[in-house]
Amino acid sequence: MAAWGITGIAFGVVLIGFGAPLDMQTLWLGVFIFNISTVIGAAIALPGGLAGFEGSAVFWTRRLFGMDPAIALGAALLIRTTTLWLSVSIGLVSFLLWPDLLAGAEKVDRKSLKAESQALETVTEPGAK
């Protein structure tokens, strides 16, 4: 809940940057718009609530702030880019680099397992060798 609240406040800050009044009501409405749009986006059966979130955010931004559709869309796309698609792109890059990131892990694991097994053998069988 804290993450949704903080992200909603971030959307309020984006709205202020796009011309909404600088007051607490804008921040609270940003939380409302972001959260209701997230729920509506979740109800849409597309990855990341694609188009559901954006459409809802534009609708509520226009209705509550009277913003131009292009400005409301810009605010919605900016918050989506920074909250969802940035993390998706980081995950995609990590996924594509996964084999390279793990290339040395097998060698390290084998060495540490061998050292652990030798240590266990000497502890459990001190005079066996």
H-state helical runs in 44-104: 52-65, 69-80, 86-101
The pLDDT tens digits of the residues spanning 100-111 come to: 777 766 555 566
> Within 13 A of 96's CA, how many CA atoms are on the CB side?
5
The pLDDT tens digits of the residues spanning 54-110 come to: 999 999 999 999 999 999 999 999 999 999 888 889 999 988 988 877 776 655 556
Give pLDDT, residue 43. 94
The pLDDT tens digits of the residues spanning 42-57 come to: 999 888 888 999 999 9
CA dist 88 and 47 (Å) reads 11
Q: Does the structure show a pLDDT above 70 at 18?
A: yes
